[in-house]
Amino acid sequence: MNNTFIVITSIADEHHPVLKKIAARAINHRVPLIIIGDKSSPKEFTLEGCDFYSLDAQARLPFSLSDKLPVGHYSRKNLGYLLAIERGAEIIIETDDDNIPLASFWDDRSIEAEAHLLENTGWTNVYRYFTDINIWPRGFALEHLHAPMPEIGKITSVKSPIQQGLADENPDVDAIYRLTMPLPVYFEMSQNIALGINTFCPFNSQNTTWFKEAFPLLYLPSYCSFRMTDIWRSFVAQRIAWTCGWTILFHNCTVRQERNIHNLMNDFKDEISGYITNDKIFNCLKNITLKDGVNHISNNMIRCYDELIKIGVLDSSEIELLKAWLDDLKTLENR
């Protein structure tokens, strides 16, 4: 796992059992671990195997984004991505402090993969290809839950610089699922599923691999609910992936989640903006005109976020943060 970094944001202390496991295994596999704290983080944090950045340490970082990100928001994770990129990352794996890596988590990763490719299928519930249970990922448009599953074809070679791994036991589902359906859930082993052009399924920040070509798309928006920031990021990333000839890969579980304590009704409240607008976002992004090619990713991102602002999903202040992110990336590229 050369030039691979793990990035987490957490408000837990150094005694958190999952953080301790991740850090210990990161040492064994020689993978740098970056943890981004927030206002509720402990003042003192010392855990062998990780580099922890408190709010004070974040404020001293040489990034224009540092003093623009809101406090108390998951989007502060953006600084962890920038730190990994500054240190020469070729691959960034992001996860959270309640996901325990399985042995396969530490396997080498390749941007090229063999997968069942789905194209032109619209909203596609990828979870159903890994289980017969009626389950859907957080961020899936509820009005499409009963759509028939598209048939999958033969295995083919795909290029996927963004790869979502599933999580066993307590997978990333929405509050409606948690309030109404049984857990835990264990997915079945299956072949990779790759989503191509005009095929859409949310992916999250729980267990996701990003290769260098896709690093600009890591950007997490700030002017939305923390339950939607990684989901709406995934919508933008998927739309722009189409312009690059990339697929989004979903693969077997490589983590097991022991979920931190959540107030499910608060989660529900924070997800309402998604329940009522996820399909609207997909239709908006699907229908805008973007330029093809990796060289146009930055401008395409601005175009996508401008459209999300126009339809009232994001506040206009988001563009300032996005441009700061893109400026920071450009600065790091020129060093």
Please write the tens of the pLDDT for every residue from 145-170.
999 999 998 999 999 999 999 999 99
In whole angstroms, give the CA distance from residue 290 to residue 239: 9
Residue 2 has pLDDT above 80, yes or no: no
pLDDT at 302: 98
pTM for the predicted model, two decimal places: 0.97
In whole angstroms, give the CA distance from residue 52 to residue 305: 30
Spatial CA neighbour of 308 closest among 288, 290, 335: 288
Q: What is the pLDDT of residues 23-65, one digit of tens each?
A: 999 999 999 999 999 999 998 899 999 999 999 999 999 999 9
Spatial CA neighbour of 302 closest among 234, 227, 217: 217
Q: For residue 10, what are the contacts with CB-CB under 8 A and spacing of at least 6?
A: 16, 19, 35, 36, 37, 41, 96, 97
Residue 117 three-state SS: strand
Overall average pLDDT of the 221-247 stretch: 97
Q: 234 — phi, psi (to 5°)?
A: -65, -35
pLDDT at 153: 83
222 neighbors 177 (Cβ within 8 angstroms): no
Q: What is the pLDDT of residues 54-98, one digit of tens each?
A: 999 999 999 999 999 999 999 999 999 999 999 999 999 999 999
Q: What is the pLDDT of residues 163-207, one digit of tens each?
A: 999 999 999 999 999 999 999 999 999 999 999 999 999 999 999
Residue 1 has pLDDT above 80, yes or no: no
Mean pLDDT, rounded, of the chain:
96
